[in-house]
Structure 1
């Protein structure tokens, strides 16, 4: 099964992806926890290009190409081999982030994102958790990390607000795949809801 976590910066999706992986491993399941951009050697090199530096380092169009290249390598090297081996793959971000960050929030480029995705990736997660968070709170959390990968956070709260609206719309667009989770709670409460939904989906997949 292929599971992705999405949401604005600081929403807690990385923590929830890790907690779900830990919970499923504790049940004896074979889980690969990965991330985007990154998750394979080549994709990690591209990660440094797109997440560091000035906000205006790349145009949205160039970013779409870079993210798609990273995702293709991630699929070839990590995701598809793990799924073929019968493992559960959990990724912190996937194509929905590109649909939001480059496709909607910085121009009307969603069509280009979807065309490249269909041509070069042609795979959606089986289950996507969208961790919802107030943009101001999420950005404050993200900036408090004081990391080096802050290029998108430096676009400010306006981008985060547009992103949140986009993710909420995405949940409505793909109701069979996307599960909207309230992230403005204790991480244990969020993790319990996520784990319950994941276990139900895994049980359904096993029966199918």
Structure 2
């Protein structure tokens, strides 16, 4: 989408298992693109709008068995719809770069595959209520044991999914890599085990390439 200066906006998502460093990389990319003079909206899921942030507290805190996977899909879809209406679409409509820490791919993994085969349900609800995918998805790949250790080391209150343990993280890593093969046109897999600055350089290169392709399209 043009911002009136010939530039085109970009909807970019970061995905990865817990503790992969994606949130840090999303923030660093936002800072780098702002330094280049771009209008950047850095947001997250679940969350990114007042209503969605309220749902975030429901799904990320508490006992691991607080919700069934099917109920979580409904909650995440409701949060994503509010986020889309109030944050993402208005930013894209003015030609901004939207950087989202997690989007629908996380629901495809954590709810669609974690406790049963509910991927079809996720995709059907997404098509009905959301209807868009990121232009570029950066998957920060990380060893599950290392990622879980990092995530638990934060000692925060939003650890409901981390509390499912290393087995879930291993399944999620495999699932994310499968998604990258399923949607090769929009996924870029970045090795998150390297130094933070090295990862950030690869992330920035991928984002600049996508922006350049959008501006010349």
Greater shift, 100-109 or 36-45, is seen at 100-109
Q: Equivalences for 1:72-111 in 2 at 5 Å?
A: 72-111=81-120
1:144 aligns with 2:127: no
The counterpart of 1:40, out of the listed 44, 49, 74, is 49
TM-score, length-scaled by structure 2 = 0.95
Q: Which runs of 5+ in 2 are unaligned?
A: 1-9
Question: SS at 2:189's partner residue?
Answer: strand
1:15 aligns with 2:24: yes
1:59 aligns with 2:68: yes
Partner of 1:204: 213
Partner of 2:200: 191
How far did 1:105 drift? 1.8
Question: SS at 1:11's partner residue?
Answer: coil
- Partners of 2:206 and 2:42 in 1: how far apart? 18
Question: SS at 1:165's partner residue?
Answer: helix
- Partners of 1:61 and 1:105 in 2: how far apart? 11
Q: Equivalences for 1:124-163 in 2 at 5 Å?
A: 124-163=133-172
Partner of 1:174: 183
- Partners of 1:123 and 1:107 in 2: how far apart? 25
How far did 1:106 drift? 1.5
Question: SS at 2:82's partner residue?
Answer: helix
Question: SS at 1:180's partner residue?
Answer: strand
What count of residue pairs does the alignment treat as equivalent?
A: 208
- Partners of 2:75 and 2:157 in 1: how far apart? 19
1:50 aligns with 2:31: no
